[in-house]
Amino acid sequence: MDYTQLEGFDEKYAKVRIREHKKFGGKVIEVLYGAKDAEGNPVLPQEGTNDGHGRWFGIEVDGEKKMFSLQKPNETEVTYTTDSKENALEDMERTIDEKQALCREATSLLESTSKDAEESYQALVETWNALKDWATPKEQEFSRRFAEIKEEFAHRNEQVEENLKEKLAVLEQAKALGDSTNWKVTQAKFDELRKELFDIGHAGEKGKEVEKEFKQLVNEFNDKRKNYFAQLDETRASAKEKKEELIEKAKEVMALTNFKSASDKMVNLMNDWKAAGSAGHAVDQELWDAFNGIRNDFYEKRKNYFEERKETFDKSIEAKTALIEEAKKISEEKDYSKEKTERMKQLDQEWRKAGYSGKDKNDKLWEEFTAAKEVFWNAKHEESLKRFAEIIERKKENIKKLREDIEDLGIKEYETDVYDEIRGIQRRIEEKKEIVASLEKDIQELEEKMNRD
């Protein structure tokens, strides 16, 4: 049954899950449908809820949908279309795997020279026939292959013998090359024979023995050639090793940030490279490309570094020069207000943010900046001292007047016998004394501040 023909199926209120299934060459489909809310209105089904939804489960092969199981909405009974019931998909997958394995076993038997290969193949046929046919594309593919193998068995033995003769003929040609010292030509011939040998089809166990003997001949030839070039190879290997070490050292130099030291090291590495000798033209070129590439990257990195550093220094110099000019301007204005004082402090913060200006300029700019600031701060200090002195003088005048008032009050205290007047005079005297003490404390603090500054 096609799920689209289900009673109550509505795509608007159904969840249809379709996924490709490579194992059987089709699609697995699960449909949840028929869910309703508490008022009986159709809604999208939600798994794990009591919304009454039904479930259609099956597969699609070549556009045809095949149902494995069906549970209708608001029903607990499940209808199955196969004996596998809820395990239909798993059983189908297992059947496909078993058929694939049988094809592989049959192919292996086809390549075997065992006398009982035919008997073993018939046992595979019986096993095949006992398996269920799910009519999937993969099963059809394996069935065709299994049938082809059956036909191939008929011609297998004859072809194996023919292949063995061809392999033996190639082996005889290889044996004839054994004494040759024309290394390049002989190597090319061995390569040609190797391709020809392994292009020949299966030749049974004897064919494998021929291939093994051929490989032995190749190994013997390679050993002779290696011995011949041993001395030359040793010299080139030594040069190659030295140059590889120099490449690694160049990489280490590339990571250094002290460019003066790194440049000296790179020059020394180049001298060592020239003295290392030849590792053979092809190898030399490859190693040189690697080594010289690192050198070029290093010098490009060094160039970019100094260009960027100069640009950074120039920006720092420009910013600091502007700060110096502003400091001079503020000093010349002789305005020591809170606003100007705060701005002068901010200049220090902006100076630090401006960064380093290079050893040729940094100290000189700092000296100019410090000198410009000192003009302001020294003048502000003098202004502060003058202001403090004036404040102290005023406070001393107040103290003098208060003491005179205290003395006058003391006289009035002795001139009256009225108790309330005496108590009033005494309170006024104490109040004035407290004011005097406060003023004296203020004067002391101001004088200490003047001495600290």
Let me know whether 205 and 107 are in one domain. Answer: yes
Boundary-marking domain end, from 54, 81, 108: 81
Let me know whether 112 and 92 are in one domain. Answer: yes
Under 8 Å between Cβ of 244 and 287:
yes
* Among 214, 177, 179, residue whose Cα is nearest residue 194: 214
377 inside domain: no
Distance CA 351, CA 320 (A): 6
363 inside domain: no
Let me know whether 177 and 193 are in one domain. Answer: yes
215 inside domain: yes
Let me know whether 40 and 123 are in one domain. Answer: no
Let me know whether 57 and 93 are in one domain. Answer: no
Boundary-marking domain end, from 184, 210, 228: 228
Let me know whether 314 and 341 are in one domain. Answer: yes
Let me know whether 161 and 215 are in one domain. Answer: yes
382 inside domain: no
What pTM does this model have? 0.35
Let me know whether 213 and 125 are in one domain. Answer: yes
Q: How far is CA 436 from the centre of its chain?
A: 75
Q: What is the pLDDT of residues 226-281, one digit of tens each?
A: 887 777 777 888 888 898 898 899 898 888 888 888 889 989 989 998 888 888 88
Let me know whether 277 and 215 are in one domain. Answer: no
Query: CB neighbours (10 Å) of residue 376?
Result: 22
Let me know whether 337 and 254 are in one domain. Answer: yes
Looking at the structure of the chain, the number of domains it has is 4
Boundary-marking domain end, from 228, 250, 275: 228
Tell me how far CA of residue 348 lies from CA of 93, 110, 343, 352, 366, in angstroms.
78, 91, 9, 6, 11
User: Quick one: DSSP state of residue 36?
Assistant: B
Q: What residue numbers bound the domain in which 75 lies?
A: 3-81
373 inside domain: no
Let me know whether 89 and 223 are in one domain. Answer: yes
Q: Mean pLDDT of all residues in the chain?
A: 86
371 inside domain: no
Side chain identity, residue 340:
K
Let me know whether 202 and 97 are in one domain. Answer: yes
23 inside domain: yes
432 inside domain: yes
Q: What is the pLDDT of residues 126-163, one digit of tens each?
A: 999 999 998 888 888 989 998 888 888 767 767 778 88
Per-residue pLDDT, 115: 63
Quick one: pLDDT band at residue 58, thresholds 50, 70, 90? very high
Under 8 Å between Cβ of 11 and 18:
no
